[in-house]
Amino acid sequence: MNTALLKENLRAVPDFPIPGILFWDITTLLKNPACLKEMDAALLEQYKGLGITKVVGIESRGFFLAPSLAMHLGAGFVPIRKPGKLPAETVSESYQKEYGVDTLQIHKDAITPEDVVLVHDDVLATGGSARAAIELVKKFGPRKVYVNFIIELEALGGRAKLPEDVPMTALLSL
């Protein structure tokens, strides 16, 4: 994978969404066809052959690459969303994030015990939303859970908050 290409095209936005937060914007990667191809190929290479049956994207930036990856893996796509966005019965998990408390939800019938699940999001920062998403998925008792990010912000220590039994990868470490 050409990490130099990805890092050159990544945009950092200071003080977004609130003062003191440095936001890593992946839209600059998504609009560049070469970057999009690199990310898509790298994700497929990491997860092909693992028997993934569902790729779960975390709202909202996890929705960008997760459906494509699911398609390439021959898996289904499952969205994890904020409250009130999913139309059928849901299961919820609340978590602490860098600047407040939030809740995530998944449809009650989204995952089965036979599934092998990959949870995907854009950035691993403090680990709150990722841990909540993994806990939601684990409530269904799937055979295996993996988690992936485009970017891991190592200094924020999010990896330490993730369950040890869930293998984690990131395309870029900053």
* Residue 95 pLDDT: 87
End-to-end Cα, the chain, rounded Å: 16
The b/e string for 37-69 (b: 16+ C-beta within 10 A; e otherwise) is ebbeebbeebbeeeebbbbbbbbebbbbbbbbb
CA atoms 21, 27, 130, 43: torsion sign: negative
Kindly name the residue from 61, 81, 93, 131 that is annotated as catalytic. Answer: 61
Residue ranges with strand state E in the chain: 11-14, 22-25, 54-58, 76-80, 90-97, 100-107, 116-124, 144-152, 168-173
Q: What is the pLDDT of residues 56-70, one digit of tens each?
A: 999 999 999 999 999
Fold of 51-173: Rossmann fold (3.40.50)
Kindly name the residue from 11, 38, 59, 98 that is annotated as catalytic. Answer: 98
Going by pLDDT thresholds of 50, 70 and 90, the confidence category of residue 99 is low
Is 131 in the active site?
Answer: no
Going by pLDDT thresholds of 50, 70 and 90, the confidence category of residue 10 is very high
Judged against a pLDDT cut of 80, whether residue 15 lies above it is answered with yes
Whole-structure pTM value: 0.94
